Amino acid sequence: MPAPEWDVNFAAKIAALADATATSNSVNRNYFQETTQSVVNTVNVAITPAFPTTLDLTPTTTYATATDDTSIDTFGVSETPIVITLLATIEDAGALAYYLLRPVPAFWFSNLDVSLNTLSDANKSLIANLEIGQQIAVTKSFPAGVVPSVVTEYLFVEGIGHRITVDNHIVTIYTGPGNIYAAFILNTSKLNDSAYGLG
Amino acid sequence: MPSTIPNCGTYTIEAYATGAPPANAFILDTSRLNSTSVLGGSVWYDISQYIQNVQIMRGRQNPFREPSCNPGTASFRIYDPNFYFSVVNTASPYYNSIDERLSIGVSTPVRISRNGEYLFYGQITTYDQNIQQPNYSTVNVTCSDTIQTFNNIKLAAQTTTQQKYGARINAVLDSAGITSLRDIATGVSTIGAVPIEDGASLQDYLLRLQNCEYGRMFISRSGVFTAQARVLPQTIAPAVTLSDTGAGVEYDTFDIANS
Protein backbone atom coordinates (compact mmCIF):
# COMPACT_ATOMS: atom_id res chain seq x y z
CA MET A 1 0.00 0.00 0.00
CA PRO A 2 1.51 3.36 -0.94
CA ALA A 3 2.22 5.84 1.83
CA PRO A 4 -0.58 8.33 2.49
CA GLU A 5 -0.08 11.63 0.78
CA TRP A 6 0.14 14.75 2.89
CA ASP A 7 -1.15 17.72 0.97
CA VAL A 8 1.32 20.51 1.71
CA ASN A 9 -0.41 23.10 -0.40
CA PHE A 10 -1.29 25.15 2.65
CA ALA A 11 -1.74 28.39 0.75
CA ALA A 12 -4.86 26.98 -0.82
CA LYS A 13 -6.25 25.94 2.53
CA ILE A 14 -7.09 29.28 4.10
CA ALA A 15 -10.62 29.90 5.26
CA ALA A 16 -12.48 32.31 7.49
CA LEU A 17 -14.36 30.33 10.10
CA ALA A 18 -17.15 31.38 12.39
CA ASP A 19 -15.18 30.67 15.54
CA ALA A 20 -11.92 32.12 14.37
CA THR A 21 -11.70 34.11 17.57
CA ALA A 22 -12.04 31.03 19.73
CA THR A 23 -9.82 31.12 22.75
CA SER A 24 -8.67 28.30 24.90
CA ASN A 25 -11.92 27.80 26.77
CA SER A 26 -14.36 28.80 24.09
CA VAL A 27 -17.72 27.13 24.53
CA ASN A 28 -17.67 26.65 20.79
CA ARG A 29 -14.49 24.64 20.94
CA ASN A 30 -13.74 22.09 18.29
CA TYR A 31 -12.70 18.57 19.11
CA PHE A 32 -11.98 15.67 16.89
CA GLN A 33 -15.09 13.71 17.57
CA GLU A 34 -14.39 10.04 17.92
CA THR A 35 -16.25 8.68 14.97
CA THR A 36 -17.95 5.52 13.89
CA GLN A 37 -16.39 5.94 10.48
CA SER A 38 -13.99 3.10 9.89
CA VAL A 39 -12.13 5.08 7.26
CA VAL A 40 -10.94 8.67 7.45
CA ASN A 41 -8.94 9.69 4.39
CA THR A 42 -9.13 13.47 4.56
CA VAL A 43 -8.21 15.24 7.79
CA ASN A 44 -8.24 19.00 8.34
CA VAL A 45 -6.36 20.51 11.29
CA ALA A 46 -6.26 24.26 11.94
CA ILE A 47 -3.67 26.02 14.02
CA THR A 48 -4.62 28.45 16.73
CA PRO A 49 -6.15 31.54 15.12
CA ALA A 50 -4.85 35.06 15.49
CA PHE A 51 -6.71 37.42 17.77
CA PRO A 52 -8.96 39.95 16.06
CA THR A 53 -7.65 43.49 15.93
CA THR A 54 -9.23 46.76 14.91
CA LEU A 55 -7.51 46.34 11.57
CA ASP A 56 -8.65 42.76 11.16
CA LEU A 57 -11.86 41.92 12.96
CA THR A 58 -12.20 38.47 11.42
CA PRO A 59 -8.77 36.94 11.11
CA THR A 60 -8.56 33.93 8.87
CA THR A 61 -7.84 30.45 10.09
CA THR A 62 -5.00 28.50 8.61
CA TYR A 63 -5.25 24.77 8.41
CA ALA A 64 -3.46 21.78 6.99
CA THR A 65 -5.11 18.93 5.15
CA ALA A 66 -3.80 15.39 4.92
CA THR A 67 -5.30 13.11 2.31
CA ASP A 68 -4.84 9.52 1.19
CA ASP A 69 -5.66 9.34 -2.51
CA THR A 70 -5.62 5.54 -2.67
CA SER A 71 -8.16 5.38 0.13
CA ILE A 72 -10.32 8.03 -1.53
CA ASP A 73 -10.28 6.02 -4.76
CA THR A 74 -11.35 2.91 -2.87
CA PHE A 75 -13.81 4.20 -0.29
CA GLY A 76 -14.74 7.67 -1.49
CA VAL A 77 -14.04 10.83 0.48
CA SER A 78 -14.39 10.42 4.23
CA GLU A 79 -13.47 13.76 5.71
CA THR A 80 -13.26 15.35 9.15
CA PRO A 81 -14.54 18.87 9.72
CA ILE A 82 -11.89 21.52 10.16
CA VAL A 83 -10.82 21.31 13.78
CA ILE A 84 -9.28 24.33 15.43
CA THR A 85 -6.52 23.28 17.78
CA LEU A 86 -4.07 25.10 20.04
CA LEU A 87 -1.18 24.03 17.81
CA ALA A 88 1.41 26.67 17.11
CA THR A 89 2.56 25.94 13.56
CA ILE A 90 1.17 24.68 10.29
CA GLU A 91 3.85 21.98 10.34
CA ASP A 92 2.43 20.68 13.62
CA ALA A 93 -1.06 20.76 12.17
CA GLY A 94 0.10 18.85 9.10
CA ALA A 95 1.83 16.23 11.20
CA LEU A 96 -1.29 15.74 13.33
CA ALA A 97 -3.55 15.56 10.27
CA TYR A 98 -1.29 12.93 8.76
CA TYR A 99 -1.29 11.01 12.05
CA LEU A 100 -5.09 10.95 12.16
CA LEU A 101 -5.52 9.43 8.71
CA ARG A 102 -7.22 6.05 8.77
CA PRO A 103 -6.93 4.99 5.11
CA VAL A 104 -8.31 1.47 5.52
CA PRO A 105 -10.51 -0.12 8.19
CA ALA A 106 -8.38 -1.48 10.99
CA PHE A 107 -9.10 -4.73 12.83
CA TRP A 108 -7.24 -6.00 15.85
CA PHE A 109 -7.52 -8.31 18.86
CA SER A 110 -8.98 -6.62 21.93
CA ASN A 111 -11.16 -7.14 25.02
CA LEU A 112 -8.92 -9.96 26.18
CA ASP A 113 -10.17 -11.60 29.37
CA VAL A 114 -7.50 -13.23 31.51
CA SER A 115 -8.40 -15.18 34.67
CA LEU A 116 -5.67 -14.85 37.24
CA ASN A 117 -6.51 -18.06 39.08
CA THR A 118 -5.17 -20.26 36.31
CA LEU A 119 -1.82 -18.47 35.97
CA SER A 120 1.55 -18.86 37.64
CA ASP A 121 2.33 -16.36 40.41
CA ALA A 122 4.71 -14.45 38.14
CA ASN A 123 2.14 -14.20 35.36
CA LYS A 124 -0.59 -13.19 37.81
CA SER A 125 1.48 -10.17 38.80
CA LEU A 126 2.45 -9.44 35.20
CA ILE A 127 -1.18 -9.24 34.12
CA ALA A 128 -2.59 -7.52 37.22
CA ASN A 129 0.10 -4.83 37.07
CA LEU A 130 -0.20 -3.99 33.37
CA GLU A 131 -0.46 -0.27 32.72
CA ILE A 132 -2.02 1.83 29.97
CA GLY A 133 0.45 2.56 27.18
CA GLN A 134 2.42 -0.67 27.54
CA GLN A 135 2.99 -2.84 24.50
CA ILE A 136 1.72 -6.42 24.45
CA ALA A 137 1.73 -9.28 21.96
CA VAL A 138 -1.37 -11.36 21.30
CA THR A 139 -1.18 -14.71 19.51
CA LYS A 140 -4.26 -16.49 18.24
CA SER A 141 -4.22 -19.91 16.59
CA PHE A 142 -6.87 -20.98 14.10
CA PRO A 143 -8.18 -24.37 13.00
CA ALA A 144 -6.87 -26.19 9.94
CA GLY A 145 -7.79 -24.53 6.70
CA VAL A 146 -7.35 -21.01 8.01
CA VAL A 147 -4.36 -19.21 6.56
CA PRO A 148 -2.30 -18.20 8.39
CA SER A 149 -2.86 -20.75 11.12
CA VAL A 150 -1.33 -18.50 13.79
CA VAL A 151 -1.55 -14.71 13.96
CA THR A 152 0.50 -12.56 16.33
CA GLU A 153 -0.38 -8.89 16.75
CA TYR A 154 1.64 -6.27 18.62
CA LEU A 155 -0.72 -3.87 20.34
CA PHE A 156 -0.85 -1.12 22.93
CA VAL A 157 -2.84 -1.33 26.15
CA GLU A 158 -5.49 1.41 25.95
CA GLY A 159 -7.67 0.36 28.86
CA ILE A 160 -7.72 -2.10 31.75
CA GLY A 161 -10.68 -3.57 33.59
CA HIS A 162 -10.72 -5.70 36.73
CA ARG A 163 -13.57 -7.85 38.01
CA ILE A 164 -12.72 -9.19 41.46
CA THR A 165 -15.10 -11.63 43.13
CA VAL A 166 -14.77 -14.00 46.06
CA ASP A 167 -13.28 -16.73 43.88
CA ASN A 168 -11.67 -15.08 40.86
CA HIS A 169 -10.01 -12.01 39.47
CA ILE A 170 -10.52 -11.42 35.75
CA VAL A 171 -8.45 -8.76 34.03
CA THR A 172 -9.82 -7.36 30.77
CA ILE A 173 -7.25 -5.77 28.48
CA TYR A 174 -8.48 -3.28 25.88
CA THR A 175 -5.98 -2.66 23.13
CA GLY A 176 -5.27 -0.39 20.22
CA PRO A 177 -3.16 -0.89 17.12
CA GLY A 178 0.16 0.83 16.65
CA ASN A 179 3.02 1.06 14.23
CA ILE A 180 5.29 -1.54 15.77
CA TYR A 181 8.18 -3.09 13.86
CA ALA A 182 10.98 -5.55 14.42
CA ALA A 183 14.54 -4.26 14.60
CA PHE A 184 16.34 -4.53 11.26
CA ILE A 185 19.23 -6.99 11.52
CA LEU A 186 21.94 -6.99 8.88
CA ASN A 187 22.21 -10.17 6.81
CA THR A 188 18.92 -11.37 8.32
CA SER A 189 16.07 -8.92 7.80
CA LYS A 190 14.58 -8.28 4.39
CA LEU A 191 14.92 -4.93 2.65
CA ASN A 192 11.72 -3.16 1.57
CA ASP A 193 9.71 -4.87 4.28
CA SER A 194 7.70 -2.55 6.56
CA ALA A 195 7.87 -5.16 9.32
CA TYR A 196 11.49 -4.13 9.97
CA GLY A 197 12.91 -0.75 10.92
CA LEU A 198 16.13 0.87 12.03
CA GLY A 199 14.57 2.70 14.95
CA MET B 1 -7.57 -7.00 57.26
CA PRO B 2 -6.63 -7.77 53.64
CA SER B 3 -8.76 -10.39 51.89
CA THR B 4 -7.22 -13.37 50.17
CA ILE B 5 -8.81 -14.80 47.06
CA PRO B 6 -7.57 -18.36 46.53
CA ASN B 7 -5.15 -18.63 43.60
CA CYS B 8 -5.45 -14.92 42.83
CA GLY B 9 -3.76 -12.89 45.55
CA THR B 10 -4.27 -10.77 48.63
CA TYR B 11 -6.40 -7.69 48.17
CA THR B 12 -6.63 -4.54 50.22
CA ILE B 13 -9.27 -1.84 49.94
CA GLU B 14 -8.54 1.23 52.00
CA ALA B 15 -10.42 4.44 52.73
CA TYR B 16 -8.70 7.60 53.96
CA ALA B 17 -10.92 8.76 56.77
CA THR B 18 -10.99 10.47 60.12
CA GLY B 19 -12.80 7.96 62.28
CA ALA B 20 -11.65 7.44 65.84
CA PRO B 21 -9.76 5.82 67.28
CA PRO B 22 -7.47 4.62 64.52
CA ALA B 23 -5.73 1.33 65.04
CA ASN B 24 -2.41 3.11 65.36
CA ALA B 25 -3.58 5.90 67.70
CA PHE B 26 -0.89 7.44 69.84
CA ILE B 27 -1.55 6.51 73.50
CA LEU B 28 0.18 8.40 76.28
CA ASP B 29 2.62 6.36 78.36
CA THR B 30 2.32 3.51 75.86
CA SER B 31 3.18 4.62 72.35
CA ARG B 32 6.75 5.50 71.41
CA LEU B 33 7.84 8.80 69.94
CA ASN B 34 8.94 8.61 66.30
CA SER B 35 6.77 5.54 65.79
CA THR B 36 3.96 5.18 63.25
CA SER B 37 1.35 6.08 65.88
CA VAL B 38 -0.75 9.14 65.04
CA LEU B 39 -2.42 11.78 67.18
CA GLY B 40 -5.36 12.28 64.90
CA GLY B 41 -6.33 13.38 61.43
CA SER B 42 -7.04 11.09 58.51
CA VAL B 43 -5.55 7.64 58.25
CA TRP B 44 -5.92 4.83 55.74
CA TYR B 45 -8.49 2.40 57.10
CA ASP B 46 -8.35 -1.14 55.77
CA ILE B 47 -11.98 -2.04 54.99
CA SER B 48 -11.19 -5.09 52.83
CA GLN B 49 -13.03 -7.57 55.04
CA TYR B 50 -16.37 -5.88 54.31
CA ILE B 51 -15.97 -5.58 50.52
CA GLN B 52 -17.65 -7.66 47.86
CA ASN B 53 -17.39 -7.63 44.05
CA VAL B 54 -14.86 -5.00 43.06
CA GLN B 55 -14.87 -3.66 39.52
CA ILE B 56 -12.33 -1.27 38.07
CA MET B 57 -12.10 0.38 34.66
CA ARG B 58 -9.31 2.71 33.60
CA GLY B 59 -8.50 4.10 30.16
CA ARG B 60 -10.64 3.43 27.11
CA GLN B 61 -11.96 0.43 25.26
CA ASN B 62 -11.26 1.63 21.73
CA PRO B 63 -8.90 4.47 20.82
CA PHE B 64 -10.96 5.32 17.72
CA ARG B 65 -14.27 5.43 19.57
CA GLU B 66 -13.47 7.10 22.87
CA PRO B 67 -11.34 10.09 23.83
CA SER B 68 -8.46 9.75 26.23
CA CYS B 69 -8.60 11.69 29.53
CA ASN B 70 -11.76 10.00 30.78
CA PRO B 71 -11.78 9.41 34.54
CA GLY B 72 -11.01 5.89 35.71
CA THR B 73 -13.75 4.34 37.82
CA ALA B 74 -14.13 1.68 40.49
CA SER B 75 -17.15 0.25 42.24
CA PHE B 76 -17.68 -2.17 45.09
CA ARG B 77 -20.30 -3.31 47.56
CA ILE B 78 -19.85 -3.09 51.31
CA TYR B 79 -21.46 -5.88 53.30
CA ASP B 80 -22.25 -4.24 56.60
CA PRO B 81 -23.94 -6.49 59.19
CA ASN B 82 -22.76 -4.25 62.04
CA PHE B 83 -23.89 -0.98 60.45
CA TYR B 84 -20.32 0.35 60.70
CA PHE B 85 -20.84 2.08 57.36
CA SER B 86 -24.29 3.40 58.16
CA VAL B 87 -24.74 7.14 58.10
CA VAL B 88 -26.87 6.96 61.28
CA ASN B 89 -24.63 4.84 63.52
CA THR B 90 -22.82 7.19 65.88
CA ALA B 91 -21.06 4.17 67.45
CA SER B 92 -19.40 3.24 64.19
CA PRO B 93 -15.58 3.09 64.33
CA TYR B 94 -15.67 5.35 61.31
CA TYR B 95 -17.92 7.96 62.92
CA ASN B 96 -16.23 11.31 63.31
CA SER B 97 -17.56 12.84 66.51
CA ILE B 98 -16.06 16.24 65.71
CA ASP B 99 -17.80 16.55 62.35
CA GLU B 100 -20.75 14.54 63.67
CA ARG B 101 -20.97 12.38 60.59
CA LEU B 102 -19.65 9.17 59.11
CA SER B 103 -16.15 9.90 57.89
CA ILE B 104 -16.39 7.52 54.94
CA GLY B 105 -18.56 8.89 52.17
CA VAL B 106 -18.52 11.05 49.07
CA SER B 107 -15.02 12.46 48.36
CA THR B 108 -13.26 10.00 50.68
CA PRO B 109 -9.99 8.86 49.02
CA VAL B 110 -9.91 5.15 48.23
CA ARG B 111 -7.14 2.86 47.07
CA ILE B 112 -7.32 -0.74 45.95
CA SER B 113 -4.29 -3.00 45.79
CA ARG B 114 -3.31 -6.57 45.07
CA ASN B 115 -0.25 -8.02 46.81
CA GLY B 116 0.86 -4.49 47.65
CA GLU B 117 0.61 -3.18 44.06
CA TYR B 118 -2.10 -0.61 43.47
CA LEU B 119 -4.85 -1.31 40.96
CA PHE B 120 -6.81 1.89 41.49
CA TYR B 121 -6.42 5.18 43.33
CA GLY B 122 -9.31 7.62 43.48
CA GLN B 123 -12.15 8.90 45.60
CA ILE B 124 -15.76 8.02 46.34
CA THR B 125 -18.32 9.69 44.08
CA THR B 126 -21.52 7.97 45.20
CA TYR B 127 -22.33 6.25 48.51
CA ASP B 128 -25.65 4.44 48.40
CA GLN B 129 -26.69 2.69 51.60
CA ASN B 130 -29.47 0.08 51.59
CA ILE B 131 -31.10 -1.62 54.57
CA GLN B 132 -31.71 -5.30 53.89
CA GLN B 133 -33.86 -7.90 55.63
CA PRO B 134 -33.67 -9.30 58.23
CA ASN B 135 -31.54 -6.45 59.53
CA TYR B 136 -28.24 -5.63 57.88
CA SER B 137 -26.91 -3.00 55.60
CA THR B 138 -25.17 -2.92 52.25
CA VAL B 139 -23.55 0.07 50.65
CA ASN B 140 -22.96 0.41 46.93
CA VAL B 141 -19.94 2.60 46.36
CA THR B 142 -18.64 4.11 43.14
CA CYS B 143 -15.34 5.91 42.81
CA SER B 144 -13.54 8.00 40.21
CA ASP B 145 -9.93 8.98 39.91
CA THR B 146 -8.55 12.51 40.12
CA ILE B 147 -9.47 13.44 36.55
CA GLN B 148 -13.09 13.59 37.71
CA THR B 149 -12.22 16.53 39.96
CA PHE B 150 -10.50 18.50 37.20
CA ASN B 151 -13.85 19.55 35.77
CA ASN B 152 -14.54 21.53 38.93
CA ILE B 153 -11.21 23.34 38.89
CA LYS B 154 -11.31 26.70 37.15
CA LEU B 155 -8.21 28.33 35.77
CA ALA B 156 -7.35 31.97 36.34
CA ALA B 157 -6.79 34.24 33.35
CA GLN B 158 -3.21 33.93 32.19
CA THR B 159 -0.98 34.44 29.23
CA THR B 160 1.07 31.60 27.81
CA THR B 161 4.18 31.21 25.75
CA GLN B 162 4.77 28.80 22.92
CA GLN B 163 5.55 25.49 24.63
CA LYS B 164 5.79 21.81 23.97
CA TYR B 165 2.77 19.72 24.94
CA GLY B 166 4.28 18.44 28.18
CA ALA B 167 5.57 21.82 29.31
CA ARG B 168 2.13 23.36 28.81
CA ILE B 169 0.44 20.62 30.83
CA ASN B 170 2.88 21.13 33.68
CA ALA B 171 2.38 24.90 33.55
CA VAL B 172 -1.40 24.60 33.65
CA LEU B 173 -1.38 22.05 36.47
CA ASP B 174 0.97 24.30 38.43
CA SER B 175 -1.27 27.31 37.91
CA ALA B 176 -4.26 25.26 39.09
CA GLY B 177 -2.42 24.29 42.26
CA ILE B 178 -2.36 20.60 41.40
CA THR B 179 0.42 19.11 43.48
CA SER B 180 -0.21 15.40 42.93
CA LEU B 181 2.44 13.22 41.33
CA ARG B 182 2.82 13.53 37.56
CA ASP B 183 4.45 11.66 34.73
CA ILE B 184 4.31 14.01 31.77
CA ALA B 185 5.94 13.27 28.42
CA THR B 186 7.52 16.08 26.43
CA GLY B 187 5.25 15.35 23.51
CA VAL B 188 5.52 15.88 19.78
CA SER B 189 3.35 18.95 19.30
CA THR B 190 4.07 22.59 20.03
CA ILE B 191 1.26 24.57 21.63
CA GLY B 192 0.68 28.18 20.61
CA ALA B 193 0.79 31.22 22.86
CA VAL B 194 -2.95 31.49 23.39
CA PRO B 195 -4.16 33.25 26.54
CA ILE B 196 -6.32 31.26 28.90
CA GLU B 197 -9.54 32.99 29.86
CA ASP B 198 -10.64 33.36 33.45
CA GLY B 199 -12.82 30.47 34.57
CA ALA B 200 -11.70 27.94 31.99
CA SER B 201 -12.23 24.39 33.21
CA LEU B 202 -8.98 22.53 33.82
CA GLN B 203 -10.37 19.34 32.30
CA ASP B 204 -11.62 21.20 29.26
CA TYR B 205 -8.22 22.77 28.72
CA LEU B 206 -6.41 19.46 29.16
CA LEU B 207 -8.74 17.95 26.57
CA ARG B 208 -7.77 20.69 24.13
CA LEU B 209 -4.11 19.95 24.75
CA GLN B 210 -4.79 16.26 24.30
CA ASN B 211 -6.52 17.14 21.05
CA CYS B 212 -3.25 18.64 19.81
CA GLU B 213 -1.09 15.67 20.74
CA TYR B 214 -3.42 12.71 20.47
CA GLY B 215 -1.48 10.73 23.05
CA ARG B 216 -2.99 9.38 26.24
CA MET B 217 -3.99 11.09 29.49
CA PHE B 218 -4.96 9.04 32.51
CA ILE B 219 -4.40 8.48 36.20
CA SER B 220 -2.05 5.54 36.67
CA ARG B 221 -3.01 2.64 38.87
CA SER B 222 -0.99 4.22 41.69
CA GLY B 223 -2.60 7.65 41.33
CA VAL B 224 -0.04 9.45 39.16
CA PHE B 225 -1.41 11.85 36.53
CA THR B 226 0.11 10.60 33.32
CA ALA B 227 0.28 12.25 29.90
CA GLN B 228 1.84 10.21 27.14
CA ALA B 229 2.97 11.48 23.76
CA ARG B 230 1.50 10.55 20.41
CA VAL B 231 2.38 6.95 19.63
CA LEU B 232 5.19 6.98 17.13
CA PRO B 233 6.51 3.89 15.36
CA GLN B 234 8.49 1.77 17.76
CA THR B 235 10.28 -1.53 17.87
CA ILE B 236 8.70 -4.67 19.24
CA ALA B 237 9.10 -4.88 23.02
CA PRO B 238 5.97 -6.42 24.50
CA ALA B 239 5.60 -6.40 28.27
CA VAL B 240 3.75 -9.70 28.00
CA THR B 241 2.68 -12.16 25.31
CA LEU B 242 -0.88 -13.43 25.51
CA SER B 243 -1.33 -16.63 23.58
CA ASP B 244 -3.64 -19.58 23.09
CA THR B 245 -0.79 -21.78 21.85
CA GLY B 246 0.72 -22.45 25.26
CA ALA B 247 3.71 -20.23 24.49
CA GLY B 248 2.64 -17.27 26.60
CA VAL B 249 0.09 -16.14 29.17
CA GLU B 250 -3.18 -17.88 28.47
CA TYR B 251 -6.26 -15.76 27.83
CA ASP B 252 -9.89 -16.85 28.05
CA THR B 253 -11.81 -14.79 25.51
CA PHE B 254 -11.22 -11.94 23.11
CA ASP B 255 -13.00 -9.87 20.48
CA ILE B 256 -12.04 -8.39 17.16
CA ALA B 257 -12.13 -4.62 17.54
CA ASN B 258 -12.32 -2.31 14.58
CA SER B 259 -11.62 1.32 13.78
Residue B118 sits in the same domain as residue B136: yes
Spell out the domain ranges in chain A: 5-100, 112-197
Cβ of A136 and B240 within 8 Å?
yes
For B73, the closest chain A residue by CA position comes to A161
| Closest listed residue to residue B170, CA positions, set A169, B179, B162 | B179
| Percent share of chain A, pLDDT over 90 | 55
Q: Does A90 touch chain B (CB under 8 A)?
A: no
> Which of the listed residues B104, B124, B145 is the one where a domain comes to its end?
B145
Q: Are residues B133 and B164 in the same domain?
A: no
- Which residues are CB-neighbours of A178 under 8 A, at least 6 positions away? A135, A154, A155, A156, B231, B233, B234
- Among A residues 57-76, those touching chain B with beta carbons less than 8 Å apart: none
The 10s digit of each residue's pLDDT in B72-119 is 999 999 999 999 999 889 999 888 887 888 999 999 999 999 999 999
- Selected for mutation to probe chain A from B3, B165, B194 (highest A CB count within 10 Å) is B194
Exposed e or buried b per residue across B81-102, where buried means at least 16 C-beta atoms within 10 angstroms of its C-beta:
eebbbbeebeebbbbbeeeeeb
pLDDT at A138 over 50: yes
ipTM exceeds 0.95: no
Q: Do B165 and B77 share a structural domain?
A: no
Report yes or no on B256 lying in a domain: no
Q: What is the mean pLDDT of residues A63-78?
A: 94
Nearest CB to B56; choose among A105, A161, A197: A161
Instruction: Give how far Cα A55 sits from Cα of A52, A58, A60, A150, Å.
Output: 8, 9, 13, 65
d(CA B127, CA B108): 10
- Write down the pLDDT at residue B232: 78
How far is it, in rounded angstroms, from Cα A52 to Cα B242? 55
Average pLDDT over residues B58-66: 89
A149 touches chain B (CB under 8 A): no
Show the domain range for B59: 3-145
Residues 6+ apart with CB under 8 A from B84: B50, B92, B93, B94
In a domain, B245, yes or no: no
Residue B248 lies in a domain: no
Put simply, the answer to whether B250 touches A114 (Cβ < 8 Å) is yes
Residue B76 shares a structural domain with residue B29: yes
Helix extents (H) in A85-183: 90-100, 121-128
Does the beta-carbon distance from A158 to B56 stay under 8 Å?
A: no
Instruction: For chain B, say whether A105 makes contact (Cβ under 8 Å).
Output: yes
pTM score, two decimals? 0.85
Whether B137 and B178 map to the same domain: the answer is no
Residues of chain A with Cβ-Cβ distance to B244 below 8 Å are: 139-141
Distance CA A25, CA B38 (A): 44
Domains contained in chain B, number: 2
* Same domain assignment for residues B156 and B175: yes
Determine whether the interchain pair A112/B191 forms a contact, defined as Cβ–Cβ distance below 8 Å.
no
Q: Is pLDDT at A192 greater than 70 in this prediction?
A: no
For chain A, give the mean pLDDT: 79
Q: How far apart are the first and last CA of chain A?
A: 21
From CA A192, how far away is CA A195, in angstroms rounded?
9
Average pLDDT over residues B156-175: 95
Q: Are residues B158 and B140 in the same domain?
A: no
Q: Which of B105, B120, B145 is the last residue of a domain?
A: B145
Specify burial of residue B50 (Cβ count, 10 A radius: 0-12, 13-18, 19+). Answer: buried
Residue A168 contacts B where some CB pair is shorter than 8 Å: yes
pLDDT at A23: 37
Confidence check: pLDDT of B23 > 80 = no
Tell whether the model's pLDDT for residue A50 goes beyond 80.
Answer: no
Q: Kindly report the CA angle at B253 between B248 and B255, in degrees rounded to 5?
A: 110
User: pLDDT at position A77, please?
Assistant: 92
Residue A132: is its pLDDT beyond 90? yes
Side chain identity at residue A143, one-letter code: P
For the domain that residue B205 is a member of, what is the CATH number? Answer: 3.55.50
Q: Which among A45, A71, A132, A142 is the top mutation candidate for probing chain B, defined by the most B β-carbons within 10 Å of its own β-carbon?
A: A132
**CA–CA gap between residue B190 and residue A20 (Å, rounded):** 19
Q: Establish if B236 belongs to a structural domain.
A: no
Does any domain span residue B242? Answer: no
